[in-house]
Amino acid sequence: MSTSFPKPTDDFETCKKDLKKWGYCLLENAIPQDINQKALQRLTEQADAEKKLNLAFEDGSKTKKWGEFKQENSSESRNFNSKEGGINQRVWMLPNKGEVFLEILNNHKYFEVMKLVVGDHPIISSFGANIAKKGGVPMDLHTDQWWAPDPVHRNKDFLPPASITRKKFDYEINKDVLNNTDLIARPAVSNVLIMINGMSLENGGTMVVPGSHLYGRHPDKNLDIDIKPIAAQGPPGCAIITDGRLWHGTGANITEEPRIAIIITFCGPQYRPQENYTAGLRKDVLKKLNDFQKELLGYKVWSGYGRIGDPTEHFIDVEKEPLGPLKI
């Protein structure tokens, strides 16, 4: 009997069951179709302009792999562009790049599903686009919370949290992912990946390993050679919503048309985001935000954390001059 993996649905309860069992669900019409169409147009314009101005970040090749941002054993940054071999294009910091992206942050269908993983007061870790183009290679399987410390047995050595890297994890437990009975880490993030022009196996759709959110560790090329991912497929406006522990990666686009996806990564408010919105958001954009959007972008103080000074303040005011040295 064949296994029935998640299929696109607009039913909340089905999404809830799929997330729990498989570590991901496929939510139809995650954002309204008119907003999806506007996002497609604005993203295409932005990506074309960034490429023509030599500002594009391009990865997805054998020599330009996601996550390998520095030279080996060096602090020198790698160049990620087509001249250096990059193929797929990223567009960063979308809140700065068009009002349609702020519209996407309003409380749409995907938000309630995402909260099943992250909880009631998430913040955005990153909000960007991934454009998979012909010639790109499949991304290595990974989780979106590789930085989260794993559980350890009592009185056993562990890797300190500030020593964890994209290639260095604790493997003290849970090596046998299919038969482990050890404790596993809880989810810390959730990805909402919106298929702006649809996803398929052929156009570089996201490859997932169903159920891998319960494996208890991160993927390893040497340990996991027999594990085969499948493509998460859906029409424009559909979203893959993941448990941050799910093993996944971008597929290879073998079609002539670019595959465009918006990726919003949500995390708990106690974690450090990938993109620093409190420092990097344009002032004209900040003035347009409502309180809901400000909280998502990290401007709301959470239990005294993220404050500029007074832990009782509700939202931080980045325009206000911080208090300096005083003397009476």
Q: What is the pLDDT of residues 106-151, one digit of tens each?
A: 978 999 999 999 999 999 999 999 999 999 888 899 999 998 888 8
Q: Identify whether 316 is part of a domain.
A: no
Nearest alpha carbon to residue 33 among 66, 7, 10, 56: 10
Q: Identify whether 197 is part of a domain.
A: yes
Query: Where is 117: in which H helix or E strand?
Result: helix 109-118
pLDDT bin (cut points 50, 70, 90) of residue 252 is: very high
Q: Identify whether 310 is part of a domain.
A: no
Q: In the Cβ-directed half-sphere of 162, how many Cα atoms lie within 13 Å? A: 0
Q: Is residue 152 pLDDT above 90, yes or no? A: no
Across the chain, mean pLDDT equals 90
Q: Identify whether 321 is part of a domain.
A: no
Averaged pLDDT, 235-245: 97
Q: What is the pLDDT of residues 1-32, one digit of tens each?
A: 457 899 999 999 999 999 999 999 999 999 99
Three-state SS letters, 132-194: ECECCCCCCCECCCCCCCCCCCCCCCCCCHHHCECCECCCCCCCCCCCCCCCCCCCCEEEEEE
How confident is the model at residue 199, as a pLDDT?
97
Distance CA 289, CA 316 (A): 13
Q: What is the pLDDT of residues 182-232, one digit of tens each?
A: 778 899 999 999 999 999 999 999 999 999 999 988 898 888 888 999 999
Q: Identify whether 303 is part of a domain.
A: no
Q: What percent of the chain has pLDDT over 90?
A: 69
Q: What is the pLDDT of residues 35-46, one digit of tens each?
A: 999 999 999 999
Nearest alpha carbon to residue 142 among 63, 233, 18, 244: 244
pLDDT bin (cut points 50, 70, 90) of residue 74 is: low
Q: Identify whether 318 is part of a domain.
A: no
Nearest alpha carbon to residue 267 among 117, 104, 93: 117
The alpha helices in 238-289, defined as continuous H runs, are: 277-280, 283-286
Measured in degrees and rounded to the nearest 5, phi and psi for residue 240 equal: -90, 125
Q: Which amino acid is at 86?
A: G
Q: What does the block give as tokens for 195?
A: 């298929």
Q: Identify whether 165 is part of a domain.
A: yes
Q: Identify whether 259 is part of a domain.
A: yes
Q: What CATH number is given to the structural domain containing 42?
A: 2.60.120.620
Nearest alpha carbon to residue 183 among 170, 199, 193, 194: 170
Q: Is residue 54 pLDDT above 90, yes or no? A: yes
Please state which of the ranges 77-86, 112-121, 139-148, 309-318 shows the lowest mean pLDDT. 77-86
pLDDT bin (cut points 50, 70, 90) of residue 292 is: very high
Q: Which amino acid is at 241?
A: I
**pTM tops 0.75:** yes
Residue 247: give the domain boundaries: 12-296
Q: What does the block give as tokens for 238?
A: 């559909």
Please state which of the ranges 90-94, 169-173, 225-229, 288-292 shows the lowest mean pLDDT. 169-173
Domain count, the chain: 1
Name the DSSP letter for residue 102.
Answer: H
Higher-scoring residue by pLDDT: 65, 253: 253
Distance CA 4, CA 185 (A): 26
Nearest alpha carbon to residue 94 among 264, 225, 312: 264
Higher-scoring residue by pLDDT: 152, 59: 59
Q: Judging by beta carbons within 10 Å of its beta carbon (0-12, 13-18, 19+), is residue 305 exposed, middle or buried?
A: exposed
Q: What is the largest CA-CA distance in the chain?
A: 80
